[in-house]
Chain A
Amino acid sequence: MAIIAQFIVNGIIAGSTYALVAIGLTMIFGILGFINFSHGELVMLGAYFTFAFMAFGINLPLAALLSIILVAIVAVIIDIAVYKPLRKKEVDSLSLLIASIGVSIILQSLAQLYWGHDIKVFNLPAATPIEIFGANITPIQIIMIIISAASMVLLFAFLNMTRIGTALRATSDNRDMAQIVGIDNDRVIMVLWVIGAAFAAIGGILIGINTNLQIGMGLMILLKALTAIIMGGVGNIRGALIGGIVIGLAENLALIELTPQYRDMVAFTLMILLLLFKPEGIFGKKERIG
């Protein structure tokens, strides 16, 4: 029983990072129409910038905040330099995907040039775990869960209660109609990147706190997030959230039977099964048919 509780706790922690990353990925797909392959590198940069600020002696919360802001700026600059000119040329989504693979590799290379390829860890004081239902959880892990939950609540409030948030959903629904009612597309896209990048950065920081930092950490998390958005229905934000948590739980609960090296297999088996049997995602359609 205790061991199951532990797997559930671990699953929720992993799942919330997947969810944070998946939410940005699915929103970018909804509005720009492509899978941002470099989304994992925003996760990586979130972790590494925090690491770098902490190396200057800045404390974790402030370093994290600065890192989130910096990653958002990087994402907006990349959009202006790469994706915006491509959008102007009205290239197809495959070209955008390929461009984002290029961006992913460039960001990884630059990061490796600067930070080297050895594994890094945040320099945090050792924490004493608390026991809940037999599961060990450290205070910092509790804070991680709270931060993830709070980010998502804030996002939903933003999307549902502000004008620009509603405009974002509207653009994701129907880009042509958004232009027709006069929604400023450039502004919406900038807000989109800020949210997507900030969420990715938070995800990266949480991974850094919980495990360690590697230059290539983005790819695996990208693929997990991709599974989450397929599960949730591509473009569906709530679906991405639930999908992320489900994958985190599934791969950790699978450890009851499997050894850790098979963990990743669980998520991807799930993805293939979903693609085969429920390609539109688990959470239905938003439009009635007929």
Chain B
Amino acid sequence: MLLEIKDLVAGYGNLDILHGVNMEVDKNEVVCIIGPNGGGKSTVLKTIYGLLKPRAGSILFRGDDIGGVESHRLLRRGISFVPQDKNVFPSLTVKENLAMGAYTRPDMEEEGTENVLLRFPSLKEKMNIRAGYLSGGERKMLAIGMTLMLEPDMILMDEPSMGLSPRFVEIVFNKIDEISSEGTSILIVEQNAYKALRTSDRGYVLDLGINRFQDESVKLLNNPDIRKLYLGG
């Protein structure tokens, strides 16, 4: 297993949000987490990425416990994170944003930028434009591009489709497919549950800080209970 989460408890202040979450992501897998608003989906990703300390349970990455390990160390181990929103530096140019994606490994900046531009050619002519002036779709490409700079083994993505037009949602999910097919594992959190389940291999339904269901994505899609409770019938 690449990533194994066992009985994870985490939260904010003196409030627990996750009450014993269990999840796994294998090499080359795309796994999605769906569930109602406030269910703790983002909290799971933030805890994996070291932005919150686990209060109990463990997070193993390639067998090592990474619970509470700081983000910059996780980057070096091959994990990157695209947060739900505010995921670029608006007053920096696209080029500078990409450079910041490789901040911990300046030696990878040049090659990384080339690779990102191959994947997102539309960013090429925007390189000297401030990220704050990009459209929502372009911004999302940039945010994903930044995490690709270090060629991670695992990407955590929080709601990649949020705020995008249907055309861009399609593009983003195609890119996710593409990235995973080249050997990167992806754990994605999504509101757009249909889309996420169609793109992923397996899925978890997180509700009130517990994973209620877990299965292959196709099976979740066809499960009448899931459809009724989480996919709106």
Contacts and interface: CB of A to CB of B under 8 A. Distances in A.
B132 A182 contact: no
Nearest to B91: A286
Interface string A25-41: 00000000000000000
Contact of A174 (B72, B90, B104): B90
Contacts of A183: 72, 100, 103
Given A166-B96, A167-B100, A286-B132, A179 B71 contact: yes
A170 B72 contact: no
Contacts of A180: 49, 51, 71, 81, 83, 87
A280 to B, nearest CB: 14
Q: Is the interface of A mostly helix, strand, loop or mixed?
A: helix
B188 to A, nearest CB: 16
Interface residues of B, number: 25
Given A163-B103, A183-B103, A177 B133 contact: no
Contact of B51 (A169, A179, A182): A179
Contacts of B100: 166-167, 170, 178, 181, 183
Contacts of A131: none
B89 A174 contact: yes
Interface string B84-115: 00111111100010011101101000000000
Interface in A245-290: 285-288
B141 interface: no
A176 B158 CA distance: 14
A181 B83 contact: no
B53 interface: no
Contact of B92 (A166, A182, A184, A288): A166
B146 interface: yes
A180 B156 CA distance: 11
B75 interface: yes
A286 B130 contact: yes
Contacts of B101: 181
Contacts of A173: 89-92
Contacts of B132: 285-288
Interface string B62-91: 000000000110010000010100111111
A287 B99 contact: no
A182 B91 contact: no
Contacts of B87: 177, 180
Interface string B106-147: 100000000000000000000000101100000000000010
A232 to B, nearest CB: 14
A178 B71 CA distance: 10
Contacts of A178: 89, 100
Name the residue in B49, B100, B101 with the highest tally of chain A Cβ atoms < 10 Å from its Cβ. Answer: B100
A176 B100 CA distance: 13
Interface of A: 163, 166-167, 169-170, 172-174, 176-184, 285-288
Given A166-B96, A166-B99, 8 more contacts: A169-B92, A170-B92, A170-B96, A177-B83, A177-B87, A181-B101, A183-B103, A286-B130
14 contacts: A169-B89, A170-B96, A177-B87, A177-B88, A177-B89, A179-B71, A180-B49, A180-B87, A181-B101, A182-B103, A182-B104, A286-B130, A287-B91, A288-B133
10 tightest Cβ-Cβ pairs between the two chains A and B:
A182-B72, A287-B132, A182-B104, A287-B90, A286-B91, A173-B89, A170-B89, A182-B75, A181-B100, A288-B133
